[in-house]
């Protein structure tokens, strides 16, 4: 029986909501009925070609649901189990995994090159955009892409743990290493940015500055933990230094992926501070520095993949923060939609509006 899904026919083409035929789960695979899936900017980056993976594809990589069936050899899951999808599973054997840097696994996206399903109308082979194809009523994934949903966390909230919350939390705690009393600036108040603001609050940051192009996001940012809110402009770095005793912040977290924003985040960081880039930018986005300023400022500039997180290790930690009321995934959601609403949600992201749109099945 066909299930409905959001299919990207080709790079740059509009999404199509159509029926797909899924195979039965083979050895080592799991069929999951989705409860909810978040609409992330990475899905947009796949659709416009910023990230290049095989197409046509079923998009969606942030989701949670219930196990429907398991294939041969899957013993740690059973039908009826609540699960979170992990779009970047680690192979456990490559050099990065051997170092414990599972977020840099060389084979993390190998599954995206394997045929996932077929269009129900014409039999066209489809790939899973970022391994898990969460923009569908059901999906079939490798068992390595499935983690048990944390107890006490509704599946709709658990869906956001698969990308936004894990990435935002990891950017603050793992990459930037924010400590109690430090000052933080977060650039971009989308789903990941909101998670980073919440996480900076959890870390005990004293001043938390949110920066975005949209005045409408101020209330959302402040409710997530921002103590100050700035509209992005040519004077943003100067304004941040004014809020931090003319020093700049200890840690800046860039969640946009634009050269100008990365440069501003760097300029907003104190001497000896840390600038963490989470946003995925195109290869044409060039950031320039001169040799003298790199020496003089002594800052650290680092990339951040998936929050530098290990989902198996970090999901229980996030769940404890959620149960204690320190993190609130539901507060990231500004719109609950159906599959048919995903194209409009893409338009909202392009316009720089809203937080996280959540597809609820």
pLDDT at 1: 67
Going from N- to C-terminal start, the domains of the chain cover 3-149+328-360, 165-305
So what's the pLDDT on residue 234?
Answer: 96
Beta bridge partners of 34: 65
Write down the CATH number for the domain with range 165-305.
Answer: 3.40.50.720
In 268-306, alpha helices (H): 291-297
Give the pLDDT of residue 137.
98
CATH number for the region 3-149+328-360 comes to: 3.90.180.10
Strands 117-119 and 82-85, by their bridges, are unpaired
pLDDT tens for the chain, residues 1 to 361: 699 999 999 999 999 999 999 999 999 999 999 999 999 989 988 898 888 889 999 999 999 999 999 999 999 999 999 999 999 999 999 999 999 999 999 999 999 999 999 999 999 999 999 999 999 999 999 999 999 999 999 999 999 999 999 999 999 999 999 999 999 999 999 999 999 999 999 999 999 999 999 999 999 999 999 999 999 999 999 999 999 999 999 999 999 999 999 999 999 999 999 999 999 998 899 999 999 999 999 999 999 999 999 999 999 999 999 999 999 999 999 999 999 999 999 999 888 888 899 999 9
Assess whether the region 3-149+328-360 and the region 165-305 belong to the same CATH fold: no
* Per-residue model confidence as pLDDT tens digits over 55-106: 999 999 999 999 999 999 999 999 999 999 999 999 999 999 999 999 999 9
The contacts found for 320-324 with CB under 8 angstroms, 24 or more apart, are: 321/202, 322/150, 322/152, 322/153, 322/157, 323/152, 323/153
CA distance 157 to 318: 11
Q: How far from 251 is each of 144, 148, 224, 272, CA to CA, in Å?
A: 33, 33, 17, 10
Nearest-angstrom CA–CA distance, 43 and 78: 29
Tell me the residue ranges of DSSP E strands in the chain.
3-8, 16-21, 29-39, 57-58, 62-70, 82-85, 117-119, 125-128, 138-142, 146-148, 183-187, 207-212, 228-231, 249-254, 269-277, 300-303, 333-337, 356-360
Whether the link from the prior residue into 56 is cis, omega within 30° of 0, is: yes
The whole-number pLDDT of residue 51 equals 86
Angle between helices 259-267 and 236-243 (to 10 degrees): 30
């Amino acid at each position: 029986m066909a299930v409905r899904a959001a299919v990207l026919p080709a790079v740059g083409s509009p999404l199509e909501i159509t029926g797909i035929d899924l195979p039965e789960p083979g050895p080592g695979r799991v069929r999951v009925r989705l409860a909810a899936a978040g609409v992330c900017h990475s899905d947009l980056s796949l659709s416009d070609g910023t990230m290049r993976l095989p197409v046509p594809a079923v998009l969606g990589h942030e989701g949670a649901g219930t196990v429907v069936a398991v294939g041969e050899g899957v013993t740690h899951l059973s039908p009826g189990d609540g699960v979170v999808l992990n779009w970047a599973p680690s192979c456990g054997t490559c050099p990065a995994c051997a170092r414990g840097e599972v977020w840099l696994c060389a084979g993390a996206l190998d599954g995206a090159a394997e045929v996932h399903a077929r269009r129900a109308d014409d039999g066209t082979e489809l790939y899973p955009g970022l391994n898990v194809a969460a923009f569908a009523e059901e999906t079939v994934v490798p068992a390595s892409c499935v983690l048990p949903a944390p107890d006490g966390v509704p599946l709709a909230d658990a869906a956001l743990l698969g990308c936004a919350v894990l990435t935002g939390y990891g950017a603050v705690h793992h990459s930037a290493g924010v400590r109690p009393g430090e000052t933080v600036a977060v650039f971009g108040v989308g789903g990941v940015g909101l998670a980073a603001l919440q996480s900076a609050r959890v870390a005990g940051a004293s001043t938390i500055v949110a920066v975005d192009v949209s005045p409408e996001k101020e209330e959302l940012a402040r409710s997530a933990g921002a103590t100050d809110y700035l509209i992005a402009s040519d004077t943003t770095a100067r304004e941040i230094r004014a809020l931090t005793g003319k020093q700049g912040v200890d840690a800046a977290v860039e969640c946009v992926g634009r050269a100008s924003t990365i440069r501003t985040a760097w300029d907003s960081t104190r001497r000896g501070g840390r600038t963490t880039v989470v946003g995925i930018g195109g290869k044409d986005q060039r950031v320039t520095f001169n040799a003298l300023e790199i020496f003089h400022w002594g800052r650290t500039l680092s990339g951040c993949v998936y929050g530098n997180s290990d989902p198996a290790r970090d999901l229980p930690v996030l769940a404890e923060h959620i149960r204690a009321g320190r993190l609130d995934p539901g507060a990231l959601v500004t719109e609950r939609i159906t599959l048919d609403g995903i194209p409009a949600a893409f338009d909202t992201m392009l316009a720089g509006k809203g937080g996280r749109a959540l597809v609820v099945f």
